[in-house]
Structure 1
Amino acid sequence: MARKLQPEEWDLWRRVADTAIPIQPLAAVKPQGLAKITNKVKNPPTTNFEIKDFKIGQTLRQAVNNKGTAVPQKKHHKMDAKSFGKLTRGKMRPEAVLDLHGMTLVEAHPALHNFVLGSAQLDRRLVLVITGKGKPKLDYGTIPVRHGVLRENVPIWLRQLPLSSIILDVTAAHQRHGGGGAIYVYLKKKR
């Protein structure tokens, strides 16, 4: 709350206010050439939204299952559950390792391609590709720099042909094998 003015301050304020010239209100300018605005909608929506029955405390999954429709599942892995569990806990040992640290995209792409195809030729099942985590995000330069380009591009390359035809599964590595800076590549068996 503001303090109260003293009598001499009020006197000073009145003298200043008497010298001020009031601003005349400006006349409102009507824009010309604009279409008249209406509140009517030409094609009102005909769809009626209905809320399906639910019980308080019921989760979405329970509600969907009761109706008999499909429930979205977590990412489906093509490996068997036992092997995938061992892999994610770091219990399986990679048969070969490719370290892409310090490589550019131009160098890393053919190296990855040759490594995975060569590993498939040698009947290896589990290989480890180390991409690194990339540079830290603290970048104060004027030109933006991409961070973790190998970490971003290697999974994309592994999903492309011909590599995708020989790969059964790709997943992030366990901490003992590189964690977020490495990828397990589980190859298909030769038939």
Structure 2
Amino acid sequence: MTRPVDKLKEDDRVLWNLVARTAKPLKGRAAVDIPLAVEAKPVPPQQVPAIGNPGVASKPKTQHVSHALDEPTLDKLSKGRLPIEGRVDLHGLTQEAAYSLLFSFLHRAHAGGVRYVLVITGKGSSSGGDGVLRRTVPAWLSTPAFRPLVSSHDHAARNHGGSGALYVRLRRVRS
């Protein structure tokens, strides 16, 4: 009898490992150490963003900042007349994990020709302040690493998560 071939993609495996690390072992069982990431294929240097320190939400060094979505587009997205073709949920992730998941998700969506996506950051008001991801994700979307992918972004409508989510318009793929 042969073992079935593993059909998980690398991004799915990383996401699964993030979830699996939060599981508690059954009573009387030893915890299994799960590596955070699987050995990845080397990524060409032009695809790897210069992360520096994703935890620091500093302003971009250049004056070019992503523009907010225009009102007609924002209205169509909120009413469901423009389709949201993808969504990613960053709840409960560390800043580093959220940054890499967001970058890989947006990179795949852009390569697939997706135009509008929803990024769920959560409101993060557990200690009385704004959530860390709620503050930093819009700053990340304005950095040079995301600039080739992101055209504009804005807070989502209440029915899509309100201030705990962002609409992101991706740039068109140049042929």
Same fold by TM (over 0.5)? yes
Name which of 94, 112, 118 aligns with 2:102. 112
Q: How far apart are residue 123 of structure 1 and its match?
A: 0.4
Q: Deviations over 1:113-159 (max 9, x none)?
A: 11111110010000100000003344xxxxxxx64000000001111
Name which of 135, 140, 151 aligns with 2:134. 151
Q: Return the letter of the residue paired with 2:136.
A: N
Higher relative contact order (CA 8 A, sep 6+): 2
How many residue pairs were aligned?
Answer: 109
Question: Is 2:165 the partner of 1:187?
Answer: no
SS at match of 2:147: helix
Q: How far apart are residue 83 of structure 1 and its match?
A: 2.8
Larger Rg: 1
Matched-pair identity in %: 38
Name which of 76, 83, 87 aligns with 1:86. 76
Alignment of 1:120-159 (within 5 A): 120-138=110-128, 147-159=130-142
SS at match of 1:128: strand
TM-score of the aligned structures, taking structure 2 as reference length: 0.55
Change (3 A) 1:79 1:152: closer
TM-score of the aligned structures, taking structure 1 as reference length: 0.51
Question: Is 2:158 the partner of 1:175?
Answer: yes
Superposition misfits of 4+ residues, deviation over 2 angstroms: 76-85, 87-93, 135-138
In structure 2, C-alpha distance between the alignment counterparts of 1:147 and 1:82, rounded to whole Å: 28
C-alpha root-mean-square deviation of aligned residues, in Å?
A: 2.3
- Mark the runs of 5 or more structure 1 residues left unpaired by the alignment: 1-75, 139-145
In structure 2, C-alpha distance between the alignment counterparts of 1:156 and 1:180, rounded to whole Å: 15
SS at match of 1:164: coil
Q: Return the letter of the residue paired with 1:183.
A: L
Q: Return the letter of the residue paired with 1:189.
A: R
